[in-house]
């Protein structure tokens, strides 16, 4: 009986069935590969998104210094490694700082040009609340705020402020810098020194000093727009 059934099978039908099964198996395999590919792409996208979120956990003090350094360069072309070297920080710190500032709207999409009005508004209205400081005891150090060399003759005050430094030449009330390497970076860049000193005035100054510092910062930050 089985032999008769085998003899009745159509060889052409068997070949067609086998071909259909192979096509179906190929299509299933292709769908599996496409599904796996899509999952991997989604995983990569999620990973990039998480990395981007990890890199921006709010503005940090070094971000202000990096932005002021770019302003101090006065539109001169720069590289990240040059910022790192002159600010005495790592390349990765510069990269992450630029990313945070761009997300915050303080740098343009190229991460090369500060959004000057936005930066001025942040310094004027937010700095002393985001990065507060209280003057400390008398120490020897590098003069800052209204005591900085370029500002000393423009602001009248009986209280000197300094960044603590055993090799400093001025006695004054200690101000903790926005970042540990700020004094070192300012000593090799007078333009940055003046900008940071003005920013320190916003942090510790009285009403009149804050007003004058804001005016001077506006002149520095917006002079291109005025021109």
pLDDT tens for each residue of the chain, 227 residues long: 544 544 454 566 666 665 666 556 665 566 666 556 555 655 555 555 455 444 557 899 999 999 999 999 988 999 999 999 999 999 999 999 999 999 999 999 999 999 999 999 999 999 999 999 999 999 999 999 999 987 877 776 778 999 999 888 899 999 999 999 999 999 999 999 999 999 999 999 888 889 999 999 999 998 755 44
Task: Quote the pTM value.
Answer: 0.74
Domain contains 148: yes
Q: Answer yes or no: is 178 within a domain.
A: yes
- Listed residue (84, 60, 56) closest to 70, CA to CA: 84
Q: Is residue 191 part of a domain?
A: yes
Q: Report residue 36 as tokens.
A: 């796996």
Residue 104 within any structural domain of the chain = no
Task: Assess if residue 183 is contained within a domain.
Answer: yes
Q: Is residue 153 part of a domain?
A: yes
Q: How far apart, in whole angstroms, are the C-alpha atoms of residue 142 and residue 162?
A: 5
Structural domain count, the chain: 1
C-alpha–C-alpha distance, residues 196 and 145, integer Å: 8
Residue 172 structural domain: 133-205
């Amino acid at each position: 009986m089985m032999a008769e059934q085998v003899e009745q099978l159509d060889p052409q039908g068997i070949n067609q069935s086998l071909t259909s099964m192979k096509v179906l198996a190929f299509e299933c395999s292709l769908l599996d590969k496409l599904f796996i590919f899509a999952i991997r792409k989604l995983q990569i996208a999620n990973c990039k998104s998480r990395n981007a979120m990890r890199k921006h956990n709010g503005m940090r003090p070094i971000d202000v210094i990096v932005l002021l350094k770019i302003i101090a360069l006065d539109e001169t072309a720069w590289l990240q490694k040059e910022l790192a070297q002159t600010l005495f920080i790592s390349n990765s710190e510069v990269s992450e700082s630029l990313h945070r500032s761009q997300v915050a709207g303080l740098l343009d999409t190229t991460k090369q040009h500060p959004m000057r009005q936005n930066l001025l508004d942040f310094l004027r209205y937010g700095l002393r609340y985001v990065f507060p400081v209280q003057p400390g005891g008398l120490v020897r150090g590098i003069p800052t705020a209204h005591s900085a060399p370029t500002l000393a003759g423009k602001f009248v005050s009986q209280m000197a402020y300094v960044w603590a430094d055993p090799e400093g030449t001025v006695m004054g009330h200690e101000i903790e810098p926005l970042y540990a390497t700020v004094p070192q970076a300012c000593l090799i860049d007078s333009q940055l020194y003046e900008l940071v000193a003005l920013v320190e005035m916003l942090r510790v100054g009285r009403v009149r000093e804050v007003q004058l510092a804001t005016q001077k910062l506006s002149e520095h930050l917006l002079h291109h727009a005025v021109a």
